[in-house]
Amino acid sequence: MTYAALPESKAGLAGGLILGAAGLGNAMGPLLGGVFTDLLSWRWIFFFNLPITLFAVIVTFLKVHQPKEKSDDTRIDYAGSVTISVGLVALLLAFDQAIDWGWGDLRIIGLLVLSAASLVAFAVIERGAGAHALVPRDVMRNRGFSAACLAILLMSATFFAVLLYVPQYMLKVLDFSPIEAGAGMLPMMGVFAVVSFFAGPLYDRVGAKILAGIGALCIAAGPFLLSLVDNNGYAPLIPGLAITGLGIGLFYPTATTAGVTSVDKSRTSLAGGIVYMFQVAGGSIGLGLTTTIFTEAGRGVSDFDDAFVDGFQTALRVDGLLALAGFIVVLLFVGGKSRLHLPHHARHAAKPHAP
């Protein structure tokens, strides 16, 4: 909706604004959560969402209005929604329960088979669903859009893992209070918020590939730096957190804008929904995978801190490799050619002159 509210020439700005606002919220969340947990109860984290949600509902109802496009086909792809949901939930359950049951357990094998069968069924259903498919073929055949979705999937697996496990490291190994752990995430979340606002104007100057590429590389490098910590205080976390935040702030607005603007204008809203679906799916799968690796790596180590650090290091290195794969996808497929190759006079000539 943000893209639709602004002119096409401001697409980069739209992405920067919406992700920058999200970054501010993400930076405030851990701090407020820490305050409520320390001073009241963790339950207040959820109560506090009620007035915020009410405010959002009122503002949306009063201020957010867009023309409603008429469509002859208003069917909803229930079959696609059910199959992809079952497939992802079964996969996450397998990751989670494998820690206790073991990978050879028939229940884990059954969950993996159910996941694979559901995801295959989803692909078959989408092929026959036509224009009302949850993920229409004409959209996913767009190579730039599909590549942006894949890159976002891989980056989200890394981002959400860092977002969960670094505060746990501060709480359980460094003995931080919840407030201190929330403040400890500011080098990542604060940088994410600030950089996102700058990513919009930069998008129009240098293009998607360079920004998304630098961002993806930072998201890959950050977890590797974080994996070097060894129960030696908070300071060693700061470079990895800041670089991860820089990467997130550059990558997400850029990749989202590149994906949404690569499809036909009539598909913009749908494309935005699909991008977000890949972001959430990537985060969910990433957390499940990270938790499994974290637990397996620390298994058999008697000292709690040593076990936690071993699992933390191993899991973040795997997450860094996932982000590195995302960087390769960006380098090869996302954003077309860089705009930096144009000489200054060519860029100037490409701009329309006022009459």
DSSP three-state, residue 191: helix
Same domain for 274 and 197: yes
Taking residues 161-189, report their average pLDDT. Answer: 90
Query: 161 with 315: CB under 8 angstroms?
Result: yes
What is the count of structural domains for the chain? Answer: 2
Domain end (from 105, 133, 161): 133
pLDDT of residue 240: 94
344 inside domain: no
Same domain for 328 and 202: yes
pLDDT digits (tens, 9 = 90+) for 315-349: 999 999 999 999 999 999 886 655 544 444 444 44
Same domain for 116 and 146: no
70 inside domain: no
Same domain for 214 and 176: yes
Q: Is the pLDDT of residue 287 over 60?
A: yes
48 inside domain: yes
pLDDT digits (tens, 9 = 90+) for 130-152: 777 777 777 878 888 899 999 99
Q: What angle do CA 249, 254, 258 make, to 5 degrees?
A: 165
DSSP three-state, residue 261: coil
352 inside domain: no
Query: 155 with 323: CB under 8 angstroms?
Result: yes
Same domain for 252 and 105: no
* Domain residue limits at 280: 10-57+136-339
pLDDT digits (tens, 9 = 90+) for 177-194: 888 888 899 899 889 888
DSSP three-state, residue 67: coil
Q: What's the CA gap between 30 and 304, in Å, rounded?
A: 25
Q: Calculate Rg over the CA atoms of the chain.
A: 22
pLDDT of residue 72: 59
Same domain for 262 and 165: yes
Taking residues 195-215, report their average pLDDT. Answer: 86
Q: What's the CA gap between 176 and 342, in Å, rounded?
A: 50
231: left (phi over 0), alpha (psi -120 to 50) or beta: left
Structure token digits, residue 262 = 């690569």
Q: Is the pLDDT of residue 80 over 80?
A: yes
353 inside domain: no
Same domain for 170 and 97: no
pLDDT of residue 126: 83
Q: What is the pTM of this model?
A: 0.82
Query: 263 with 271: CB under 8 angstroms?
Result: yes
pLDDT of residue 341: 45
241 inside domain: yes
- 181-195 core/surface letters (b: 16 or more CB in 10 A; e: else): bbebbbbbbbbbbbb
Same domain for 257 and 181: yes
62 inside domain: no
Q: What's the CA gap between 137 and 140, in Å, rounded?
A: 5
pLDDT digits (tens, 9 = 90+) for 93-113: 888 788 788 878 899 899 999
Same domain for 253 and 117: no
Same domain for 313 and 199: yes
What is the signed CA dihedral for 53, 59, 62, 64, rounded to 10 degrees?
-100
Same domain for 260 and 113: no
What is the signed CA dihedral for 281, 286, 291, 297, rounded to 10 degrees?
160
Q: What's the CA gap between 58 and 114, in Å, rounded?
A: 41
Same domain for 190 and 87: no
DSSP secondary structure string for all residues of 269-334: HHHHHHHHHHHHHHHHHHHHHHHHHHHHHHTT--SHHHHHHHHHHHHHHHHHHHHHHHHHHHHHHS
Domain end (from 97, 118, 133): 133
303 inside domain: yes
